[in-house]
Amino acid sequence: MTIAGPLTRAVTVWRRSIQARVVLSTLLLSSVVVLLVGWVLLQQITAGLVESKTDSSVAEAARATAEAQSRLSAANGNDFDAGTQLTQLVSTLVSRGAVQGYDVVLSGPVAGTSAGLATGAGTSSTPGVLRRSIPRQLRAEVESSATDRTSYTYSTIRYAASTGRPPVPGVVTGSVVTLPADGGSYTLYYLFPMTEQESTLSLVRRALFTGGVLLLLLVCGVAWLVTRQVVAPVRLARRVAERLASGRLEERMLVRGDDDIARLGSSFNQMAGSLQKQIRQLEELSRVQRRFVSDVSHELRTPLTTVRMAGDVLHDARSRFDPPTARAAELLQNELDRFELLLSDLLEISRFDAGAAVLELEDVDLVDLVHRVVESTRPLAERRGIQVVVRTGRRPCLAEADARRVERIVRNLVVNAIDYADTVNVIVLVDANEEAAALAVRDHGVGLKPGEAAMVFNRFWRADPARARTSGGTGLGLSISLEDAHLHGGWLQAWGEPGRGAQFRLTLPRRAGDSIGVSPLPLVPEDKAQLAAPRTGTS
């Protein structure tokens, strides 16, 4: 099992849940604060314990050393036996240390003093204590000291393996005792283990850890409870907003109380009511408008037919008229053609608005259809001095579609490209993949400004209103083409840049009702980089 799945779910929860973000952020910040406070407290407690242990250890060592020195000085006389006195001294100190909780190490004589009267120089200590527990720096400081002051340091007290005692940190003090009758100087070390302090610190650590965990759980619980009280109405508002967006305009939030959240719910309900009223008005206005367009289009059919018949008679008899009258008959015929085309487009738009448009599906070969459209638009292209070039892929470009509607889309795209081609060839690309068939129409005209790629499909919208049209279009062609593409479950998209032309891409599913993942053709033309390169040479 990989971590990609849980990680993705965690990222999704983080992005979508305000409550999760607040609780986790509170947990992280509280953890930092708890760790910082715990560390400071632990440092202060540790410093206090160490300082207290050090003070008591140094005081105890000073007292024990003073008593030892007094005993040695009191034993001065003819019967003084250094070896016996030292042995008794060490035994006494070790017994006292066993009661007080410290260890003793006697070492000497110190170099540079008398050889001493002991039977043998060396180290005497509490059984099991290793001499290497005393740091060299402390030994050097004590042995070089000419006074009876007590020095101390911190070290790890180590014991022989046979004792079974583990190493433990502690305070090590050192001082010098002098034997009478020029018996030499000896160093006396006291090793105070911090076992109790270690136990206390362990207890403090456990208490701080337990208290920190409980505090974090409490903070997280409070944060979860508080955010739940705030987020629950927000989630309710989201669900109500989703229902409103789906068309259930009667949905409202449940308002309880008089707090800020309740006032927010009341404002939301007022907004929803206002939107419902305006949407109803707009729907009614749109319905009336569609009905008006449909009725006017149908009502104009009858007078248009009569005018068309009269216009045909005048156009057929124009050879018998004087030149101005003959020209008027020709203009009348052209405008009647355009008017009839406009009425047809308006009726088609009305069918789309009313949801009455249906498909007559059949297997359509886009390559044959494109060649047929190119051939029918050849006279228009020749008048503009433009050549329409068709480039096809290697795979068959078959799609289950309405041939009449697809041909209308292609015709609109090719005619528009010819209108805006600026004497450069128009390229029609056709290709297919496993799930879709597509065609793209590329021109090198004025192009589209940023944001116009979506506006170009609006009704009666033109990229360059000052530009004269040569095809006599109605301004509804691309809008109808977009509706035809959506009716097939396909895409009709546009790309363009000022001065670099435009490209329109139609993508249709190979089988009616299937979804499209990737189009076989790119929306951005492949020659864009070539157009962006600087031109060199002479014209």
Check pLDDT > 70 for residue 399.
yes
User: Which residues pair with residue 298 across a beta bridge?
Assistant: none
Are 65 and 161 found together in one domain?
A: yes
Count Cβ atoms below 10 Å from residue 404 Cβ, excluding itself. 12
Determine, yes or no, domain membership for 6: no
Determine, yes or no, domain membership for 404: yes
Q: Taking residues 269-275, report their average pLDDT.
A: 84
- 103-108 and 185-193 beta bridge pairing: antiparallel
The whole-number pLDDT of residue 466 equals 52
Determine, yes or no, domain membership for 538: no
Q: Taking residues 131-149, report their average pLDDT.
A: 81
Tell me, what CATH number does 54's domain have?
Answer: 3.30.450.20
Query: What does pLDDT average to over the chain?
Result: 81
Among candidates 448, 381, 451, which has minimal Cα distance to 411?
Answer: 381
Determine, yes or no, domain membership for 387: yes
Phi-psi region of 142 (alpha: psi -120 to 50; beta: other; left: phi over 0): alpha
Count Cβ atoms below 10 Å from residue 363 Cβ, excluding itself. 10
Count Cβ atoms below 10 Å from residue 233 Cβ, excluding itself. 20
Contact 368, 437 (CB under 8 A): no
Contact 401, 364 (CB under 8 A): yes
The whole-number pLDDT of residue 508 equals 92
Are 52 and 191 found together in one domain?
A: yes
pLDDT interval class at 534 (50, 70, 90): very low
Two tokens, residue 232: 């629950």
Q: Per the confidence metrics, is the pTM higher than 0.75?
A: no
Are 311 and 327 found together in one domain?
A: yes
Instruction: For 2-15, write each residue's pLDDT tens digit.
Output: 556 677 877 777 77
The distance from CA 122 to its chain's CA centroid, rounded to whole angstroms, is 72
Count Cβ atoms below 10 Å from residue 87 Cβ, excluding itself. 15
Would you give the DSSP letter of residue 321? S
The whole-number pLDDT of residue 288 equals 74
pLDDT interval class at 473 (50, 70, 90): low
Phi, psi of 127 (to 5 degrees): -55, 130
CA distance 204 to 292: 85
The whole-number pLDDT of residue 228 equals 82
CA distance 266 to 397: 57
Residue type for 100, please?
Answer: Q
Query: In 125-188, which residue ranges form alpha helices assigned H by DSSP?
Result: 136-143
Which residues are CB-contacts of 247 (< 8 A; sequence separation ≥ 6)?
none
The whole-number pLDDT of residue 531 equals 47
Instruction: For 404-421, write each residue's pLDDT tens digit.
Output: 889 888 988 998 888 887
Residue 161 vs residues 167, 196, 239, 272: alpha-carbon distances, Å: 10, 22, 73, 83
Q: Taking residues 338-367, report their average pLDDT.
A: 76
Cis peptide before 167 (omega within 30 of 0): no
Determine, yes or no, domain membership for 22: no
Are 53 and 163 found together in one domain?
A: yes
Grouping H, G, I as helix, E, B as strand and the rest as coil, residue 366 is: helix
Check pLDDT > 70 for residue 161.
yes
Determine, yes or no, domain membership for 76: yes
**476-485 burial string, b = 16+ CB within 10 Å, else e?**
bbbbbbbbbb
Are 369 and 513 found together in one domain?
A: yes
Tell me, what CATH number does 377's domain have?
Answer: 3.30.565.10
Which residues are CB-contacts of 449 (< 8 A; sequence separation ≥ 6)?
463, 496, 498
Give 232 or 190, the one with higher predicted confidence. 190
Residue type for 530, please?
Answer: Q
The whole-number pLDDT of residue 192 equals 92
The whole-number pLDDT of residue 77 equals 55
Q: Taking residues 302-323, report their average pLDDT.
A: 80
**238-247 burial string, b = 16+ CB within 10 Å, else e?**
eebeeebeee
The whole-number pLDDT of residue 538 equals 30
User: Which residues pair with residue 497 across a beta bridge?
Assistant: 501
Are 180 and 256 found together in one domain?
A: no
Single out the residue in 356, 376, 403 at which a domain terminates.
Answer: 356
Check pLDDT > 50 for residue 75.
yes
Q: Taking residues 334-352, report their average pLDDT.
A: 72
Are 324 and 421 found together in one domain?
A: no
Which residues are CB-contacts of 359 (< 8 A; sequence separation ≥ 6)?
401, 402, 405, 487, 488, 512
Contact 96, 178 (CB under 8 A): no
Determine, yes or no, domain membership for 3: no
Helix or strand holding residue 462 (H, E)? none
Which residues are CB-contacts of 177 (< 8 A; sequence separation ≥ 6)?
65, 68, 69, 72, 185, 186, 187, 188
Are 514 and 389 found together in one domain?
A: yes
Check pLDDT > 60 for residue 450.
yes
pLDDT interval class at 207 (50, 70, 90): very high
Q: Taking residues 114-137, report their average pLDDT.
A: 68
Are 292 and 395 found together in one domain?
A: no
CA distance 350 to 341: 14
Single out the residue in 356, 377, 399 at which a domain terminates.
Answer: 356
Q: Which domain holds residue 454?
A: 361-532
Helix and strand tally (H, E) in the chain? 13, 12
Check pLDDT > 90 for residue 78.
no
Contact 175, 62 (CB under 8 A): yes
Which residues are CB-contacts of 86 (< 8 A; sequence separation ≥ 6)?
106, 118, 124, 179, 186
User: Which residues pair with residue 159 across a beta bridge?
Assistant: 129
CA distance 220 to 25: 10
Angle between helix 403-419 and helix 477-487 axes, rounded to 10 deg = 140
Angle between helix 366-376 and helix 403-419 axes, rounded to 10 deg = 50
Number of domains in the chain: 3
Tell me, what CATH number does 307's domain have?
Answer: 1.10.287.130
pLDDT interval class at 458 (50, 70, 90): confident
Instruction: For 10-64, write each residue's pLDDT tens digit.
Output: 777 777 777 788 888 888 899 999 999 999 999 999 999 999 999 999 998 888 8
Among candidates 110, 103, 69, which has minimal Cα distance to 86?
Answer: 69
The whole-number pLDDT of residue 210 equals 92
pLDDT interval class at 111 (50, 70, 90): low
Are 408 and 500 found together in one domain?
A: yes
Cα angle: 229, vertex 231, 34; to 5 degrees? 75
Determine, yes or no, domain membership for 222: no
The whole-number pLDDT of residue 122 equals 53
The whole-number pLDDT of residue 439 equals 92
Residue type for 75, please?
Answer: A
Among candidates 81, 83, 85, 87, which has minimal Cα distance to 104?
Answer: 87
Q: Taking residues 488-509, report their average pLDDT.
A: 89
Which residues are CB-contacts of 53 (< 8 A; sequence separation ≥ 6)?
171, 192, 194, 197
Cα angle: 487, vertex 492, 497; to 5 degrees? 160
Are 193 and 77 found together in one domain?
A: yes
pLDDT interval class at 160 (50, 70, 90): confident
Single out the residue in 321, 356, 391 at which a domain terminates.
Answer: 356
Two tokens, residue 308: 């068309």
Would you give the DSSP letter of residue 488? T
Two tokens, residue 173: 């003090």
Count Cβ atoms below 10 Å from residue 453 Cβ, excluding itself. 17
Are 344 and 367 found together in one domain?
A: no
